[in-house]
Structure 1
C-alpha cells in the first residue's frame, strides 16, 4: 500500500469536519485552552498496541480507571517509516509483534471507532520523518492533535533521511492544518523538544521547537504545543518551561495559541518501584511549578519495558496527586529561576539568529545544520554534526561543555565554562565516565532520595 493508495480511500474533508463535530467531545486544543485558563495541569499517558480490539480496550480502561485529559495513539515503527505493508502483515498475523497501533493499516474507520469509544480527545504520537499519509488517516479518524516536526522527528531517530525532505513533508502537514483552521477545526501541533532525550540543554530543545513553530505558523497553524523534556534540575526545568511563553511572545504572531508541555524524565528510569514513583511525582510537580499546560507522564514499570495498563493508571494518579494544592507550600527560588531563564533566552536567541537571517526559513534550517550553527547532541543522523557536548554542573543543571559551531557569544561560552569548572577542573577528569553518570542522573538520585 502506497501513500497515494491510502489517500484514495479517505473520506472528503467535509465528511471529516462533520464527524469531528458529531463526537460531542472537546478537541485537544479545547482541553489545553481550558486547562491553561484554569491553571490546572492536563495529563496524558502514552499507549499503543497492535491489535484493534486490544487498543480500544486499553483506551477504555485508562479512561474509566484514571480519567486522563487526553489519550494517545502511539504508532508502530513500521508505520512511522511508511512501511505500511510490513505493518499490515504483522497486524493480521502477529499484532503483539508491533510496538504501537498501525493506524494506516487498520484504517480511518477503525480510528473513528476508537475515537467514539472514549470521551477524551486523541493525539497521535509517532516519530515519522514523513507523516503525510499517517496525518491524513488520523484527521479522517477525527484525531485533533498530531505530534512532531521536520527536525524533531528526523534527526533524533533516522540516520539517512535528508533534513530538506523531512522539513518539506512536515510543511505539507502544517499547510493542511492551516486549511483545517480556516474551516474552524484547530489541530494542535505538538513539537517534540525532547529530541534524543539524552542530556539536551534547554536552549537546544527550545531552539529546535522555535524554528519548527515559526515554520508551522507560516503555513497557518493556529495551535502549538511546545514540548520540553525534564532534565531533573528543578530550577532549570521551571525556567525552561517559563521561557516557552516568553519565546512565543517574542517570535510568534499573537493570534497563535502556545501551550508548554513537559515530558517526564526520558532517560534511564529507576527500576525500583518506590524510586520510580518518586520520579513520576517529581516530574509532575516540576510541570506544575513551571506553568506547563500538559504533562506526558511515565509509569513505575518504565525501566522494565512496555508498561501494563495498571501501571499506566497508577502513573496518571501519581502525577495528578503532585498537582494538588496541598503542595503549594513548595517554593522554587524565583531569583534563581529568573537568572536561569534569562540565560536560556540569550542562548536561544544566539542559536537561531543566523538561521533567521537567511532568505528562506526551511533552506536556512538545513544549511544551519550543515554548517553546525544548529546541532543536536548524540543524534543518530548524518545530517547533524553532534559536535555539541553537554554536561551537568555540580548542581545537576545541563550546560555546554563543548558548543561546537553554535554561534554563541564569548560571554555565553565563558558562563558555561565557569559553571562547569568544578567538574572539568578536577584532577583525573574523565569525559566518558562523567557523561555516563550524567545520563543516568535519576538512577542515582531517585534511589538515594536526593531529588
Structure 2
C-alpha cells in the first residue's frame, strides 16, 4: 500500500482486516455489523464524544485517570472505585506492555500467572486476550464513558476487539505511539497501521456510531517544545479526519511554565482547525486534553500533590476539555486505587474552584501564543512542502530531514539533534535547533531567553542545563538551578530587578 493521506482503498482495508483478525483467537469474535447494533444501544451518557461536546459547550474541564490490571474482575473493581470514590468523569482501560508489542502469548501467560498468585502481574489490561465479551462487561458495568489507552505502534487488532467491545474512545497515533515508544519501527509503517485504525473508526461513523480519537500529546515528556507537539498533533489529526474520524481530541503535555502552558492550550485548537480547513476538512468536532506532569515526580506525597494541583490549575485556566490525572505515587510505581482516586479528587477540587476564572490576555501571554503559532506554522508548512501537499508523505520526509525532531526519543527514525532547556521563568526554549525550519527572528528569541538564564546563573548555556532541568522537579524545583553561592547571589539580584515579569526585547511582531 502506497503511503498517502487519502482514505484507504476498501479492498486494501478488507485484505488487511482478514490478516489482522487472524492474529489471535479472539479476533474471530469480532462481528462489525453486530458491533454497530451494540453501540447504538449504549446510553448517550456513556458515549465519549457526546460527553466531550457537552463539556466543551458548557466550558467544563473533565478529569480522567490512567488505570488497568490483568484480570477482568480486578479491573472492574478498580474502575468502579475510581468512578465512585475518585469521581472520575471518564474512565480508562490502560493496556499492558505485552499487548502493546503484539505479544499475545506472553500476555496470556501474564493472565495465568496473575490468577495463580492472586494479584496483577501485568501493568495493564490485556484486552486482546480477554476478547470482545470481557470488554463489553467493562463498558456495561461503568456509568461513565471508557477509553482505551495504551502505547501501541501496531494497534489494529486491539482496535478491532475493543471497539467491537463497546469502547467509545481510542487513544494513539502513528507518530505519537511510535517515536516515543519504539526504536526500530518506521514512521511510514505506523502511519499506515494507524490509518487502518482511523478507517475502522470512520466505518463506525458512517454507520452512525461515534468513536472519539485522541492522539497522544505529550510525546517524550516535559521538555518537548509546544510547537513540536502541536505539529505532531495536527498531523495526526489530519490523518485521522482523512480516514473518516469525526470526534477528535488533540493533546498537550504540561511543560511547567503557566503562561506557556496556557498559551499552548489556547493555540492548539486554533492551529489544528486552521490546517484541517486549509486541507479541505470541515466535518469534525475538536476538543482538547491536557496531560498533567509527565516527568519525574517527588517521592514525598505532599510534594506530589503539589505537582498534581499545579497541573490541574493549568488545565482549568487553559480551558482544556479534559485533563489526564496523575497520582501521588508516580515516583513509586503503579499506584494503589486509593492513591489514584485521591489524585482525581485533588484535581477536581482545583477544577471546580477555577472553573469560572481565566488568565487575562497580557502582553506576555499574547507573545507566547504568537510564538507558538509562528513556530508551529513554520514546521507544518515545511511538512506540506516536503510532501508536495500530502501530509502523510510530508511527515515521513520531515522526520528524515529533522524538520520534526522529538527530543529524547528512542526511535532511530528521529533525528535527535534538537536540545531544549528552560529559560529563567521555566518556559521551554531551544538550546540547539537542529534542523527545525525556524527563521532568524524565532531563533533570536530562544537564544536571548536561554542566554539570560545563563547570565543569571553565572554559567554558559550548555547540556548541563538540560540535565539539571530533567531532575529539578524531583528536587522540588522546575528550573534546574546550580547550587553554588555565586549562582544564588546572581539569582537574588535577578529577582530584585523584576526581570521575571518583563518582556523580551526580541518581541516577534
TM alignment of 1:15-34, pairs within 5 A: 15-24=34-43, 25-34=45-54
Choose the corresponding residue for 2:100, options 80, 96, 99.
Answer: 80
Deviations 1:49-74 (A, max 9, x none): 11111101101111121221110000
Choose the corresponding residue for 2:32, options 13, 20, 30.
Answer: 13
| Equivalent pairs, count | 449
Which sections of structure 1, spanning at least 5 residues, go unmatched? none
Alignment match, 2:259: 235
Distance 1:93 1:2 in 2: 27
Distance 1:285 1:212 in 2: 27
Q: 1:267 to 1:323 in 2, by over 3 A?
A: same
- Asked whether the 8 Å contact 1:235–1:332 carries over to 2, the reply is no
Moved more, 252-261 or 406-415: 252-261
Distance 2:329 2:33 in 1: 43
Distance 2:30 2:173 in 1: 25
- Asked whether the 8 Å contact 1:232–1:442 carries over to 2, the reply is no
SS in 1 for 2:22: helix
Alignment match, 1:89: 109
Distance 2:20 2:34 in 1: 23
Choose the corresponding residue for 1:312, options 340, 345, 362.
Answer: 340
- Asked whether the 8 Å contact 1:49–1:99 carries over to 2, the reply is yes
C-alpha displacement at 1:152, in angstroms? Answer: 0.4
TM alignment of 1:39-54, pairs within 5 A: 39-54=59-74
SS in 2 for 1:258: strand
Deviations 1:372-421 (A, max 9, x none): 11111011000001101001000000011111011111111111111111
Q: 1:352 to 1:330 in 2, by over 3 A?
A: closer
TM alignment of 1:261-410, pairs within 5 A: 261-325=289-353, 328=356, 331=359, 334-357=362-385, 358-359=387-388, 360-410=390-440
Distance 1:447 1:419 in 2: 16
Moved more, 101-110 or 420-429: 420-429
Distance 2:134 2:86 in 1: 24
TM alignment of 1:140-155, pairs within 5 A: 140-155=164-179
Instruction: State yes or no: 1:58 paired with 2:88.
Output: no
Moved more, 266-275 or 420-429: 420-429
Q: 1:5 to 1:245 in 2, by over 3 A?
A: closer
C-alpha displacement at 1:423, in angstroms? Answer: 2.8
SS in 1 for 2:204: helix
SS in 1 for 2:35: helix
Q: 1:8 to 1:123 in 2, by over 3 A?
A: closer
- Asked whether the 8 Å contact 2:298–2:476 carries over to 1, the reply is no
Q: 1:278 to 1:243 in 2, by over 3 A?
A: same
C-alpha displacement at 1:227, in angstroms? Answer: 0.8
Alignment match, 2:466: 435
Distance 2:137 2:330 in 1: 29
Distance 2:350 2:47 in 1: 25
Distance 2:443 2:23 in 1: 52
- Asked whether the 8 Å contact 1:279–1:446 carries over to 2, the reply is no
C-alpha displacement at 1:446, in angstroms? Answer: 5.8
- Asked whether the 8 Å contact 2:313–2:354 carries over to 1, the reply is no
Distance 1:329 1:29 in 2: 25
- Asked whether the 8 Å contact 1:31–1:69 carries over to 2, the reply is no
Deviations 1:284-315 (A, max 9, x none): 11001111000000111111111110111111
C-alpha displacement at 1:248, in angstroms? Answer: 2.4
- Asked whether the 8 Å contact 1:148–1:192 carries over to 2, the reply is yes
Give the TM-score normalised by structure 2: 0.85
Distance 2:458 2:325 in 1: 40
Deviations 1:133-152 (A, max 9, x none): 00001101100111111100
Give the TM-score normalised by structure 1: 0.95
Larger Rg: 2
- When the two chains are superposed, the root-mean-square deviation of aligned CA atoms in Å is 2.0
Instruction: State yes or no: 1:160 paired with 2:180.
Output: no
C-alpha displacement at 1:38, in angstroms? Answer: 0.8
C-alpha displacement at 1:11, in angstroms? Answer: 3.2
Alignment match, 1:188: 212
C-alpha displacement at 1:3, in angstroms? Answer: 4.7
Q: 1:135 to 1:330 in 2, by over 3 A?
A: closer
Moved more, 286-295 or 275-284: 275-284
Alignment match, 2:90: 70
Distance 1:250 1:330 in 2: 24
Choose the corresponding residue for 1:421, options 451, 455, 462.
Answer: 451
TM alignment of 1:245-264, pairs within 5 A: 245-252=269-276, 253-264=281-292
Alignment match, 1:412: 442
Which sections of structure 2, spanning at least 5 residues, go unmatched? 1-18, 480-509
